[in-house]
Amino acid sequence: MKRLFFNGHVAGLLAASVILLVLKSLQPFFNGSPPLLLFLVAVMLAAWFSGFSAGLLITGLSGLASAYFLVNPEHSFAIADSGDRLRLVFLVSVGVVLSLIIERLRQAERRVLQTVLERKQGLYREVVERRETEKALLDAKRALELEIAERKDAEAVLRQSENLLRLITDTTPAAISYVDCKYRYRWVNETYERWFGEDWAQIRGRRVRDVMGDVAWQHIQPLLDRALSGDTVAFELEVPYQASGTRWISATYTPDTDAEGQVRGVVALVNDIADRKQIEAKLQEQADQLREADRRKNEFLAMLGHELRNPLAPIRNAVKIMRRPDAPDPALHWAREVVDRQVEHLVRLVDDLLDVSRIVQGKLTLQKASVELAALIDQAVETCEPLLDARRHRFVVSIPDQSVRIEGDAVRLAQAVSNLLVNAAKYTPDGGEIWLTATCENGEVLISVRDTGEGISPALLPHLFEVFTQAERTLDRAQGGLGLGLTIVQKIVELHGGHVEAYSEGPGRGSEFVVRLPLDLAAILPENAA
């Protein structure tokens, strides 16, 4: 039953049925214009649990159900009113876009979770293997201790046992030593010798402090004292050795007791775990990055829902006016302008989402040609001029007098410059100043957009061009947007062989974006030759 409930097709169909019943029962309260966009709840459920195909199916069924049961004439797929047709088209369009977005987000989430799971499994296997190695070494040590205890009176057998112990321990990367109750070395393996750059003959009988150094001894002595008191001590510690430098170690100090239970020494098994610590730090960093990406994804979804919802209220009001038979012509004209303006806003949002999707998938294609810089600037300024005029900004343009050409896609380059101008206009208070400057320098064209606006905090600057990055604002902020504009600018500029940089002295002190693009040398050389 649970599996059936979480099937996207079933969940979406049930939700759509419930919404249809509710809208049908409340239809008198809506004056014949029920809010069809409620069906998007069913579309999102279907897309979340079963992907794009389920969302598309529920979108289609919702549109058919709305046309048949909720739109005049009822119980017929014929739609008499153009406003109703517009509402149905808008319902289906938004449903398809939402299904596609949710499908992409779910795919990204599954890839991230799979990557994290694989890395955790790899780390777990490494830890298990290390523990098995340590256990094998401890088993070997105990076997050797039993053999030495049984033949302690036979000097030849003792030497044979010592040689056998060295043969075994020298094959392991762990540093192994035996220290007596007076903190003197009685035995070390080859790895231990390499760590400190001295052979066994130089280390034999010396105090641990003399070999390790005073600073390392301050770290080790308390742990060694615990082992000499009879406790088995296991620890991980960063130790600054005198001869071999600072090392991250994982060590086990095991007390060695005689027949009467008195401790006569300590066996130290020490592993260098610097590589493991680096892996752990890297995994932690990646986990932090994943959490940050997940946080920004959730913020973006909330922002997207808000941005898509904003145009719906004026569109709904406009449709109501258009449906009134006695509506005067000025009111109808106003309603058509509202619908046109809000649909244009939705199209811009969807275009930004599609551009980012193409960029992420590497599917953004360029139609490159030799482009005149002045024409490019004019096209970008023409796009943003209404916004600049509406906010009464003082706008200054400065470009070279001579002809300057760039090889690239004129539409995309104009889009990049336009995005920077829109960004400056949105974050510059009414009546502020904006400068657009273009210069040539060292075979490059530098296009600068500078403003006297809100500025950028130092913490935000390194992440400014990441997807969905915006300064902290509430969902009802006046600037709007999805935080995709600067990402699109960066990717378009990089596809043209250039790069974009951002500068700001801090909040309230304005900002500057500089685009660097290579000159079209093929267009310059023939002119120079002439």
What is the number of other CB atoms lying within 10 angstroms of the CB of residue 511? 24
DSSP character string of 378-396: HHHHHHHHHHHHHTT-EEE
Q: Are residues 88 and 178 in the same domain?
A: no
Percentage helix, strand, coil for the chain under 3-state DSSP, each rounded to 5:
60, 15, 25
pLDDT of residue 351: 65
Residue 15 covered by a domain: yes
pLDDT of residue 36: 75
Residue 467 covered by a domain: yes
Average pLDDT, rounded, for the chain = 79
DSSP alpha helix (H) spans, 170-273: 190-196, 200-203, 208-212, 214-228
* Contact criterion met (CB below 8 Å) for 256 and 265: yes
pLDDT of residue 483: 61
What is the number of other CB atoms lying within 10 angstroms of the CB of residue 385? 13
Structure-block tokens of residue 292:
């940050």
Residue 245 covered by a domain: yes
pLDDT of residue 4: 47
Q: Are residues 390 and 507 in the same domain?
A: yes
Strands 369-372 and 405-408: antiparallel
Structure-block tokens of residue 338:
């509202």
pLDDT of residue 512: 92
Q: Are residues 75 and 177 in the same domain?
A: no
Residues with Cβ within 8 Å of 63's Cβ and at least 6 positions away in sequence, in order, are 39, 88, 91, 92, 95
The CATH number that applies at residue 479 is 3.30.565.10
pLDDT of residue 308: 59
Partners of 253 in beta bridges: 233, 268
- pTM comes to 0.42
Q: Are residues 511 and 392 in the same domain?
A: yes
Q: Which of 272, 303, 335 is the last residue of a domain?
A: 272
Q: Are residues 114 and 219 in the same domain?
A: no
The burial of 146, by beta-carbon neighbours within 10 Å (0-12 exposed, 13-18 middle, 19 or more buried), is given as exposed
Partners of 519 in beta bridges: 406
Residue 415 covered by a domain: yes
How does pLDDT run across 315-355, given as a tens digit for each residue? Answer: 766 677 777 777 677 767 676 766 665 666 566 666 666 66
In angstroms, rounded to a whole number, what is the distance separating the alpha carbons of residues 148 and 504?
A: 73
**DSSP assignment letter at 207:** B
Residue 51 covered by a domain: yes
pLDDT of residue 433: 92
**Type of residue numbered 329:** D
In angstroms, rounded to a whole number, what is the distance separating the alpha carbons of residues 236 and 253?
A: 12
Q: Are residues 220 and 129 in the same domain?
A: no
Q: Are residues 140 and 198 in the same domain?
A: no
What residues of the chain score a pLDDT lower than 50? Answer: 1-2, 4-5, 306, 471-480, 527-530
* Contact criterion met (CB below 8 Å) for 62 and 30: no
Q: How far is CA 83 from CA 203, 348, 503, in A?
A: 93, 22, 48
Q: Are residues 195 and 141 in the same domain?
A: no
* Contact criterion met (CB below 8 Å) for 518 and 498: yes
Residue 17 covered by a domain: yes
Q: Say how many domains are in the chain.
A: 3
Please identify which residue in the block is written with the tokens 């302008």. Answer: 337
Residues with Cβ within 8 Å of 408's Cβ and at least 6 positions away in sequence, in order, are 366, 368, 369, 371, 496, 517
Domain of 442, in residue numbers: 369-529
Q: Which of 470, 404, 410 has the alpha carbon at shortest distance from 438?
A: 404
pLDDT of residue 70: 75
In angstroms, rounded to a whole number, what is the distance separating the alpha carbons of residues 524 and 529?
A: 9
Q: How far is CA 335 from CA 90, 320, 321, 322, 390, in A?
A: 16, 9, 7, 7, 21
Residue 164 covered by a domain: no
